[in-house]
Amino acid sequence: MNKKLLMIGIVLIIIGSVSAYTIRQTINQNIFDNQDFTTHDLGMSITNMYKANDRVFVEFSYDTLRQLSNTNDEWTIVQLTGRIPYYISYYRDCRDTNTMQECKLDMRKFVINQAKSFRQKERNWLEEQKTKLDNEIEITDFTGLEINLD
């Protein structure tokens, strides 16, 4: 029994060490530019839920990249949090005509749709942060180009 607990503890320590390394990992702009952020799931997971006033707030964490403040060409992997508000009045209105299970399902769908929308906005933002190459292409690149050759 003690050997099993010891092995489980060692495995958990190893997993914790690996994830701690990846969260603070730094990458350069070239690696950042070569990423396809349109398919990243950002590792989103729900971390907490609380009620305040007339809303339920669902908190989630996600992994993303942020530029280091002291340099323009290095990015670090960070874990950030966000929250999705759900108005309790939506649930009350639903309960007027539906079962508790149906209303909870609607609430879950709302949270999932909001999380998907947030994830897409973050993906788009990351894509926009890639090095802009448009200003590298100029008319001088085509000057003297013989296009009438056979």
Read off the pLDDT of residues 48-85 as tens digits, 9 standing for 90 and up.
999 999 999 999 999 999 988 776 788 999 999 999 99
Q: How far apart are CA 40 and CA 35, in angstroms?
A: 9
What's residue 144's pLDDT?
A: 76
Domains of the chain, by residue range, sit at 24-128
What's residue 55's pLDDT?
A: 95
Q: Is the pTM of this model over 0.75?
A: no
State the average pLDDT for the chain.
Answer: 83
Read off the pLDDT of residues 125-150 as tens digits, 9 standing for 90 and up.
999 988 776 667 777 777 777 777 66
Q: How confident is the model at residue 115 (pLDDT cuts 50, 70, 90)?
A: very high
Residue 75, Ramachandran bin (φ over 0: left; ψ between -120 and 50: alpha; else beta) = beta
> Residues 82-101: what's their mean pLDDT?
95
Q: How confident is the model at residue 25 (pLDDT cuts 50, 70, 90)?
A: confident
Q: How far apart are CA 111 and CA 106, in angstroms?
A: 9
Q: How far apart are CA 93 and CA 98, in angstroms?
A: 9
What's residue 15's pLDDT?
A: 45
